[in-house]
């Protein structure tokens, strides 16, 4: 693994955290997107189904936020996926304005192999860091997300 060199001559983006996060995400996600597409999924399909794979119903707005997909796009994807039997919409128990969505057993079966491949890819990506640094990175990213996610 090449070690980054921090010098005063570096360009701004070489040390600008949002740029570094975006580059890392693009590079690492791009590697896995090849696998996603080889399995017949679009990237948007994968983002939605993997977000729902935990089984807990979530609102369409939250799904859009977590899957980093615009809400109108998510709505169109859900229309198609619901027709295919991969997801289902359910009304919120107390707020009629909110529609929840969850993955179906058929959708879960469809994504289980890809989730295993995603975990293997993540292990490969993080292996050079070692467990401690990988855990610290994950914790730091979760904290940044928590601190900057808009309140619902």
C-alpha atoms less than 13 angstroms from C-alpha of 10 in its C-beta half-sphere: 10
What residues make up the domain containing 81? 38-148
- 14 located within any domain: no
- 87 located within any domain: yes
CATH number at residue 87: 1.10.10.10
Predicted local confidence at residue 4, as pLDDT: 59
- 26 located within any domain: no
- 24 located within any domain: no
According to DSSP, the β-strands at 87-91 and 58-59 are: unpaired
Q: What is the pTM of this model?
A: 0.80
Task: Kindly report the three-state secondary structure assignment for every residue of the chain.
Answer: CCCCCCCCCCCHHHCCHHHHHHHHHHHHHHHHHHHHHHCCCCHHHHHHHHHHCCCCCEEHHHHHHHCCCCHHHHHHHHHHHHHCCCEEEEECCCCCCCEEEEECHHHHHHHHHHHHHHHHHHHHHHHHHHHHHHHHHHHHHHHHHHHHCCCC
- 4 located within any domain: no
Side-by-side strand order, sheet with 99-103: 58-59, 99-103, 87-91
Q: Tens of pLDDT along the chain (152 residues)?
A: 566 555 556 789 899 999 999 999 999 999 999 999 998 889 999 999 999 999 999 999 999 999 999 999 999 999 999 999 999 999 999 998 999 999 999 999 989 999 999 999 999 999 999 999 999 999 999 999 999 988 75
- 43 located within any domain: yes
- 72 located within any domain: yes
Predicted local confidence at residue 54, as pLDDT: 92
Largest CA distance in the chain: 57
């Amino acid at each position: 693994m090449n070690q980054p060199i921090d010098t005063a001559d570096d360009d701004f983006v070489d040390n600008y955290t949002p740029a570094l996060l975006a580059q890392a995400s693009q590079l690492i996600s791009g590697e896995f997107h090849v696998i996603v597409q080889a399995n017949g999924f679009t990237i948007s399909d994968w983002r939605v189904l993997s977000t729902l794979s935990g089984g807990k119903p979530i609102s369409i707005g939250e799904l859009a936020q977590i899957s980093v997909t615009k809400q109108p796009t998510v709505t169109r994807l859900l229309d198609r996926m619901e027709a295919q039997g991969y997801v289902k919409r359910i009304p919120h128990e107390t707020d009629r304005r909110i529609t929840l969505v969850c993955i179906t057993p058929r959708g879960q079966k469809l994504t289980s192999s890809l989730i295993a491949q995603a975990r293997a890819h993540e292990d490969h990506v993080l292996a050079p860091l070692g467990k401690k640094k990988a855990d610290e990175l994950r914790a730091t990213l979760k904290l940044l997300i928590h601190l900057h996610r808009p309140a619902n």
